[in-house]
Amino acid sequence: MIEFFADMDIIYKIGLAVAFIAIITAFSAVVRERDEISLLIIIDLIEITGLVVIALLATDLAEALILPGLVVGVAEIMAVSELWLVKEGLQNVRPVRRLDIEVLHTAPPIIGALLTAYGIFLTGFTGGLIAGLGLALFFLGKSTTENFLSSENASGYAWVLWVLAFLIFILFPSQWFLALMAAAVGIMIKVMAKIALVGTMRGDGS
Amino acid sequence: MMESILVTIPFGDMIHYLSGYTGVLFGFAAVFVLLAVISLPEKPVEIVFGTDGYSLKETPLNLARFQRFMAIACGIATIGAIVTGDIFNFTLFAAFIGVLNIGIVAAVKNKHVLSAAFSYGLVVMMGTVPLFAGAAIIAATTGTLSIWELAATGGVPVIAKLLLLIGVLGEGMAPFYIGKAEITRASGAPYILMIHVSSLLLFLRVVEILLTV
């Protein structure tokens, strides 16, 4: 422990000490907390302290390591909070009223189609954003009884396409143009599906 | 440990490898993935108390399919944790195994099983902190995350090794929580095995890493 701290930068030492004080404080909060949902939130805070230790690397590598760490943390809190909802029986879905005015019957299909077509023409992240806005607008004019699962499926396949494109980049660098196009289309569909989901949110109607 | 290398898969300076030891672990995990692929869900038998009668509990098809998918994914994540030559990838695979274990257990709609899975989920989330912290401290002190290079140069601080071990302890804690599902005879029998397999192999692999670096 002593020789470990001896050959380190002084700033890194101070940062590590602060991070470990934060970790210990957060863990002592877990020991004292009894309410389950508060516990879940405190543990999500604890994960952030883990990311702080990674961030202390202070290089580009830190960024590359924080992103997967963050993704794992988000995946875990989503799984566990979903589990908590099932456990407590809080998953009742109530029907939701939608805003029933005439402009929501006529305008969304036209503007949505235009935005989506332009977004597909652009491809990539920007294209996905614009096409997604179009779809979100289109869904705003629809009732929530429709099956939105298919857009989530499309998002999953787009993710696979994106990963495959990266594999092509690594394994067959000569085919970089194919990989670039596949990645652009994949990220477009993915962003589009995610943004379109915003259009399906109506609150709980209470 | 690095003398008995059988196979290497280089990705830049990250050299994924199989030694005689990890090769055996790989084979073990592969066998259990195959078992999860081909086996049908067990039908738990319930004896009617005081009589000779008994009933077979049928597992719903969608539950069995979900658990089988989770078990196969968990097996593949375990294989990833065994093969990888990068400490950060190892920690990610360990965290991944934790999430998939939650998925296998939580498919069973039983209050006791769900609360056990919830407690395990909290432990998994806490376990990622020492895991990532250990990997980050290794990167900060030695400048690399490649097990191959760390084996040659050494110099991994003891505290980082300890943090890595504590993290794997957290992720591999599942068999202690899974008892609820097994005692209450919750359905999903062949797939729940994967939880034991993955945490056992995770422990065996982290021991190999800690002895190598």
Q: Are residues A69 and A147 in the same domain?
A: no
Our CA angle for A183, A189, A194, nearest 5°, is 125
Residue of B nearest to A19 (CA): B133
Nearest to B114 among A8, A50, A86 (CB): A86
Q: Are residues A178 and A111 in the same domain?
A: yes
Residue A2 within any structural domain of the chain: no
Nearest to A168 by CA among A155, A158, A159, A177: A177
Interval B173-203: pLDDT, tens: 888 887 766 666 666 677 888 888 999 999 9
**In this structure, how many other beta carbons lie within 10 angstroms of the beta carbon of residue A95?**
9
Tell me phi and psi for residue A28, to 5 degrees. -70, -30
CB contact under 8 A, B133 and A50: yes
Average pLDDT, chain B: 86
The fraction of chain B above a pLDDT of 90, given in percent, is: 31
Cα B126 to Cα B138: distance, rounded to the nearest angstrom: 19
- Average of per-residue pLDDT across B139-145: 87
Q: How confident is the model at residue B154 (pLDDT cuts 50, 70, 90)?
A: confident
Task: Give the domain-ending residue among A62, A88, A114.
Answer: A88
Q: Are residues A81 and A129 in the same domain?
A: no
- pLDDT higher for A137 or B91? B91
Structure pTM?
0.74
- ipTM reported for the complex, 2 dp: 0.79
Q: Which CA distances in Å does B192 have to A86, B6, B77?
A: 20, 31, 15
Q: Is the pLDDT of residue A187 over 70?
A: yes
* Region of poorest pLDDT, from B5-19, B87-101, B134-148: B5-19
Q: Are residues A108 and A179 in the same domain?
A: yes
Question: How much is the pLDDT for A8?
Answer: 67
Q: Are residues A126 and A65 in the same domain?
A: no
Q: Is the pLDDT of residue A97 over 70?
A: no
Query: Which residue range is the domain that position A63 belongs to?
Result: 11-88
Positive or negative, the Cα torsion across A130, A131, A134, A135?
negative
Question: Please, how many CA atoms are within 13 Å of residue A78, restricted to the half-sphere of its CB?
Answer: 7
CB contact under 8 A, A73 and B141: no
Tell me phi and psi for residue B45, to 5 degrees. -95, 130
Q: Are residues A110 and A62 in the same domain?
A: no
Q: How confident is the model at residue A205 (pLDDT cuts 50, 70, 90)?
A: very low
Per-residue buried b or exposed e for A31-54, using 16+ beta carbons within 10 Å of the residue's own CB: eeeeeeeebbebbbebbebbbbbb
**Whose structure tokens read 């290398």?**
B5
Task: Give the domain-ending residue among A55, A88, A121.
Answer: A88
Residue A6 within any structural domain of the chain: no
Cα B147 to Cα B156: distance, rounded to the nearest angstrom: 11
Cα A76 to Cα A44: distance, rounded to the nearest angstrom: 9
Interval B63-120: pLDDT, tens: 888 888 999 999 999 999 999 988 999 999 999 999 998 888 887 777 888 888 888 8
For chain A, how many structural domains are there in total?
Answer: 2
Cα B131 to Cα B63: distance, rounded to the nearest angstrom: 32
Please enumerate residues of B whose Cβ is less than 8 A from a Cβ of A. 11, 88, 92, 95-96, 98-99, 102-103, 106, 109, 111, 114-115, 117-118, 121-122, 124-126, 128-133, 135-137, 139-141, 157-159
Element (H, E) at B46: strand B45-47
Give yes or no for a contact between A57 and A65, defined as CB atoms under 8 angstroms apart.
yes
Q: How confident is the model at residue A21 (pLDDT cuts 50, 70, 90)?
A: very high
Give yes or no for a contact between B77 and B197, defined as CB atoms under 8 angstroms apart.
no
Residue A1 within any structural domain of the chain: no
Average pLDDT, chain A: 82
Q: How confident is the model at residue A144 (pLDDT cuts 50, 70, 90)?
A: low
Chain Cα centroid distance, residue B21: 17
Q: Is the pLDDT of residue A206 over 50?
A: no
Q: For the CA atoms of chain B, what is the radius of gyration?
A: 19
Residue A152 within any structural domain of the chain: yes
Residue of A nearest to B158 (CA): A1
Q: Are residues A110 and A36 in the same domain?
A: no
Q: Is the pLDDT of residue A69 over 80?
A: yes
